[in-house]
Amino acid sequence: MVLPRDHRLSGTRVFDRLYRTRARFHASNLTLRVGVPNLRHLKPGLMGPRIRAAVRHNGAAVDQQDLRFAVVVSRKVSKRAVIRNRLRRFLHHAFMKDVPRLRRGHWLLLSLKPGAAQRSEDKLLQEWNQLLGRSGLCCDYE
């Protein structure tokens, strides 16, 4: 499943900013980085008309309703692109199911650690839910 454009994170400046953030939550196979949205770091193609207008007219840098997500699956996880893409699609789908319960106003970067490809989808989903609970983004999980 492809993420809708208004939920996608992309661009080097966005990823660099999220990698520098201190809000990190670790599980055995996943790392979740949480950042506050800064719209000036987004690529113009990923801004909707409402966001573009806010940045242009008000100089608004933060959108409290913005919720964006990206999954990073390096070649250390699997050498095969088919497996990396399957993991990415699975985690995109898990994110989209949880969107209604997540708190708005955050950018999320989920990185998979080496060895995650050998784990079952149930195990990865369980770790995703634990990370959401620990980060305080979703109060439904522990």
Q: Within a 10 A sphere around the Cβ of 138, how many other Cβ atoms?
A: 16
Whether 141 maps to a domain, the answer reads no
Which residue's structure tokens are 């990923």? 46
| 30-34, 38-42, 60-64, 77-81: segment of lowest average pLDDT | 60-64
Task: Count up the domains in the chain and report the number.
Answer: 1
Contacts 24+ apart (CB under 8 A), 6-10: 6/46, 6/48, 6/68, 7/67, 7/68, 7/69, 7/95, 7/96, 7/99, 8/46, 8/68, 8/69, 8/70, 9/46, 9/68, 9/69, 9/70, 9/107, 9/108, 9/109, 10/43, 10/46, 10/70
Whether 101 maps to a domain, the answer reads yes
- Give pLDDT tens digits for 107-140: 999 999 999 999 999 999 999 999 999 999 886 6
Task: Please report, for the domain that includes residue 37, its CATH number.
Answer: 3.30.230.10
Name the residue range of residue 23's domain. 5-135
Whether 140 maps to a domain, the answer reads no
pLDDT at 98 exceeding the cut of 80: yes
Q: Is 33 helix (H, G, I), strand (E, B) or coil?
A: strand
Q: What pLDDT, on the 0 to 100 scale, is given for residue 10?
A: 83
Q: Is the pTM of this model over 0.75?
A: yes
* Top-confidence residue, 142 or 35: 35
Whether 37 maps to a domain, the answer reads yes
Whether 18 maps to a domain, the answer reads yes
CA atoms within 13 A on the CB side of 47: 20
Q: Which residues lie below 8 Å from residue 92, measured CB to CB, with a gap of 6+?
A: 1, 2, 3, 69, 71
Whether 142 maps to a domain, the answer reads no
Whether 93 maps to a domain, the answer reads yes
Q: What pLDDT, on the 0 to 100 scale, is given for residue 81?
A: 97
- Give pLDDT tens digits for 18-48: 999 889 999 999 999 998 877 666 656 555 5
pLDDT at 74 exceeding the cut of 70: yes
Whether 48 maps to a domain, the answer reads yes
Q: What pLDDT, on the 0 to 100 scale, is given for residue 142?
A: 46
